Amino acid sequence: MSLVSQPFLRWSSSSSRDFLVRRGWLPLAFGVRFFGATSSGGGSAGEDWKAAGLGARWAEPTTTMSDIVFVQTGFGCDQHGTSGANKAVARACRDAIMFNALPYMENIMRDNGLAGREDMLINVRVGVPSDLVNSVDVEAVRSSFPYGQMLPVEVVSGGLDFASGRVVTALGDTHDRAVVACVAVTVGIPAK
């Protein structure tokens, strides 16, 4: 019998996943996804947590990070980059957090006198092709994260663009430009 066919490695329902998360046997995913499916069985990465009223909020302007807990990078590509870098940036943000877990974050935050993961700080640095730096919607970047406080998003020249070799006019393409965005996501504790 292969490992894949063993019942303890397959999910029979979302309640199986929930049971394992509650028991601490499976860490709760940062991106609130389990192996490519939301807990409701479909939809986008943020569908479940947005429906639950969750989402990162902007930190107060004077907020600073004292300790770093988590650093991850992500990459996203829009093969039809005619309309700017936002689709590539959203994909890069999802890529950075989708398969990561911060199971001990609640404890770290409470040990520092904070409410929980809703008080963790998120710092995002985005790299896109230089002519698209001003096209990035930082509000869309913020909406990519299920909880926490967003520090100001830094958008810098540092992505990539290339010829995709095709123009799909039905998708709004006016040329064959593809856009790649890179992000660095840092999560930490607010300074007191």
Encode pLDDT of 62-87 as tens digits. 999 999 999 999 999 998 877 789 99
Q: Are 137 and 85 in contact (CB under 8 A)?
A: no
Task: State how far the Cα of 108 lies from the Cα of 113, in Å rounded to an integer.
Answer: 9
Which of the two residues, 21 and 149, has the higher pLDDT score? 149
Which of the two residues, 18 and 4, has the higher pLDDT score? 18
186: Cβ contacts below 8 Å, ≥ 6 apart: 65, 68, 70, 71, 122, 123, 124, 125
46: pLDDT confidence band, cut at 50, 70 and 90?
A: low
Of 3.30.1330.20, 2.60.40.420, 3.30.70.250, 3.40.50.2300, which CATH number belongs to 55-190?
3.30.1330.20
Inform me whether the pLDDT recorded for 89 exceeds 80. yes
Domain with CATH 3.30.1330.20 in the chain: 55-190
Task: State how far the Cα of 115 lies from the Cα of 25, in Å rounded to an integer.
Answer: 24
Mean of pLDDT over the chain? 80
155: Cβ contacts below 8 Å, ≥ 6 apart: 126, 127, 128, 133, 134, 136, 138
Q: What is the pLDDT of residue 21?
A: 45
**Mean pLDDT, rounded, for 44-71:** 85
Task: Point out the least confidently predicted range of 23-32, 34-43, 96-105.
Answer: 34-43
Neighbours of 127 (CB within 10 A): 23
The residues pairing with 78 across neighbouring beta strands, listed in sequence order, are 179
Q: What is the pLDDT of residue 45?
A: 52
How is residue 172 written in tokens? 């709004």
Kindly report, residue by residue over 3-13, the tens digit of the pLDDT. Answer: 444 343 334 44
Question: How much is the pTM?
Answer: 0.73
CA atoms within 13 A on the CB side of 95: 17
